[in-house]
Amino acid sequence: MKVALVGATGMVGQVMLKVLEERNFPLTELIPVASEKSVGKVINFKGKEYQIVSMQTAIDMKPEIALFSAGGSTSLEFAPKFAAVGTTVIDNSSAWRMEADKKLIVPEINAKELSKEDKIIANPNCSTIQLVMVLHPLNLKYNLKRVIVSTYQSVTGTGKNAVDQLNAEIAGNSDVAKVYPYEIFKNALPQCDVFSNDDYTKEEIKLMTEPKKIMGDQTFNITATAVRVPVQGGHSESVNIEFENDFDLDEVRKILSNTPGVIVLDDVKNSIYPMPLYAEGKDEVFVGRIRKDLSQPKTLNMWIVADNLRKGAATNAVQIAEYLLENKLV
């Protein structure tokens, strides 16, 4: 099993290497791909050295799977070229997510949609993945009517340069390349990605469109506000959910506790709730502060936290690859 890793030197690429090793993914050959300036450099995977190669070299090697985390334009140009030689691409960018003929997959929810014919598979946006992991089981039981999500997103979602900006500002060094329009330390920026239609950011539009596709349900309404905060461990989300049907809080907690990949941390008397500092490096989606919305019936508030580089990106992509393998789709 040859696996290409496109974007091997990026933050998500590095986490994918870690996850592939942790989960003992049965690859026989790793083909790391990065920008031309990195070609020839060596990366270490499971104690073995692999040379970074060019995109064309990787395509010519015809890997069974190509894990992409290299941005939308690179994926638009090269994913079809891998697919043309028979490679199945799992792409972390937003390039293919909303294409009608491309699958947008969170394995715990809709992996069964996958077939041998799917040669370019989209990994959802990180803040979407952690949201739908919680919305899906509750939707099945109580029928979603409307969702309001406000996110508090880690700087790791923007990349290494953003982490460097935050750390430099914490150290009092303002003479650092600015990724954001403002200082991020001691601040909260109500802008994740660029502004787009109707004064929503692209991040908010992803949160308002991807969940319906993944869950196969266009019947509920969703609105989002995405905020960048000076945090590194993961994304947090405050979520208000109105259902068509009434619910019982204990039953909600039980449903979520029994959902693979979700951990309920909800004991406010002892200040037990999810936090990015403790979610970092873990693959689960943590949910807490589960409580009735006292302002209206059939409505719930909750707090959802996950490491955006792991379940929000690398782990979800590797889980898709595992599903393809287990079901002989590659």
Does 165 interact with ligand 2RA (rule: CB under 6 A)?
Answer: no
Does 158 interact with ligand 2RA (rule: CB under 6 A)?
Answer: yes
Residue 126 known to be catalytic: yes
Which residue of the set 206, 235, 310, 311 is catalytic?
Answer: 235
Residue 44 assigned as binding residue:
no
Please check whether residue 136 is in contact with residue 262, taking contact to mean a CB–CB distance below 8 angstroms.
no
Question: Count of CB atoms within 10 A of residue 179's CB?
Answer: 17
Please check whether residue 106 is in contact with residue 315, taking contact to mean a CB–CB distance below 8 angstroms.
no
Q: Which residue is nearest to ligand 2RA (CB)?
A: 157
Residue 97 assigned as binding residue:
yes
For 155-177, b where at least 16 C-beta lie within 10 A, e where not — what string? bbbbeeebbebbebbeeeeeeee
Please check whether residue 261 is in contact with residue 282, taking contact to mean a CB–CB distance below 8 angstroms.
no
Q: How far is the CB of 143 from ligand 2RA (least distance, A)?
A: 27
Place of tokens 């946006």: 125
Residue 37 assigned as binding residue:
yes
Does 232 interact with ligand 2RA (rule: CB under 6 A)?
Answer: no
From residue 23, alpha-carbon distances to 19, 20, 42, 110, 318 in Å are 6, 5, 22, 21, 9
Please check whether residue 286 is in contact with residue 305, taking contact to mean a CB–CB distance below 8 angstroms.
yes
Q: How far is the CB of 96 from ligand 2RA (least distance, A)?
A: 15
The H or E element spanning position 242 is strand 235-243
Residue 87 assigned as binding residue:
no
Residue 192 known to be catalytic: no
Residue 308 assigned as binding residue:
yes
Please list every residue from 190 through 219 that binds ligand 2RA, using CB under 6 A: 192, 203
Does 91 interact with ligand 2RA (rule: CB under 6 A)?
Answer: no
Q: Closest Cα partner for 286 from 330, 318, 313, 253?
A: 253
Q: How far is the CB of 120 from ligand 2RA (least distance, A)?
A: 19
Does 87 interact with ligand 2RA (rule: CB under 6 A)?
Answer: no
Site string for ligand 2RA, 112-151 (x = CB under 6 A): -------------xxx------------------------
Q: Which residues bind ligand 2RA (CB under 6 A)?
A: 125-127, 153, 157-158, 192, 203, 308
Which residues belong to the active site?
A: 126, 235
> Binding site for NADP(+): what residues are annotated?
9-12, 37-38, 308
